[in-house]
Structure 1
Amino acid sequence: MTNRNQAGRNTDNKKVKAQKKGKYAELAAAWYLRLKGYKILTQNYKTKVGEIDLIARKANTLCFIEVKKRATKAEAAAAITSKQQARIIRAAECFLNQHSHYQPLNQRFDAVLIGATVIPYHIQNAWQTN
């Protein structure tokens, strides 16, 4: 096996491990939100313009939620870039266009951060549309 093939396989293994950690974090976040009274409507909502990890409802509020797992909560928060926020906002617009019955609800963008302790940290209204 050449070094190039080995390096490619290591990169693939890291990507697979990161995806597994991300899925675990999303699952933990979803259960945490359920315990707080949220109803999870959709997980991994994908469009051509972006993806939303979780879409949830609590009372009269529809939440578009980004989940980030990093070594610390601060690193997780820093990983939600303005570019990513813009993609999530565009994906939320697509969701609302496809599910017009949710349009009358209040809407917000939340984040669930998971650090080394795996205890989720929920930030309501983590960012706003401009």
Structure 2
Amino acid sequence: MSGFGDTTRRLLRGRRAEAAGRGAEDVAAAALARDGWRVLARRTRTPAGELDLVAERDGLLAFVEVKARPSLTEAAFALGARQRMRLVAAAEWWVAANPGHGEAGMRFDVVIVAADGTVRRIADAFRIGD
């Protein structure tokens, strides 16, 4: 019966992580709005994967990945090469389905949120091919 307890713990841990992720996305969306960005989409699913936030300001389109971790340092290193490739593919799907955005360009930002509520945005965090 230990498998049942393991499954329950894993399920609860997953729910806590999802709730923390949604909270971090709310914080990130509010920070973007304060900086003059218009959030166009949240938690958008594409055939290539999910985009946390899509925002635009003055024609510049940003695909924003949100990372919540105990510290800013841990959050800053939480985006690996495989996930970057998935984000690029998801962004391509989003742009194809939503023409007319990004006239001034497109970029990938990362917003990192620490457990103490500290928020930092890494603008243009990576580029296609990095």
Give distance in 1, aligned partners of 2:105 and 2:97. Answer: 17
1:1-80 to 2 correspondence within 5 Å?
2-80=1-79
Runs (4+) off by over 3 Å: none
TM norm structure 2: 0.95
Please give the secondary structure, in 1, of the residue aligned with 2:100.
helix
Unmatched 5+ stretches in structure 1: none
Give distance in 2, aligned partners of 1:105 and 1:27. Answer: 26
Please give the secondary structure, in 1, of the residue aligned with 2:79.
coil
Please give the secondary structure, in 1, of the residue aligned with 2:74.
helix
Q: Deviations for 1:54-84, whole angstroms, at most 9, x for unmatched residues?
A: 0000112000000000011111111111110
Please give the secondary structure, in 2, of the residue aligned with 1:125.
strand
Please give the secondary structure, in 2, of the residue aligned with 1:117.
coil
How far off its partner does 1:116 sit? Answer: 2.3
Does 1:129 find its partner at 2:119? no
TM norm structure 1: 0.95
CA-atom RMSD, angstroms?
1.0
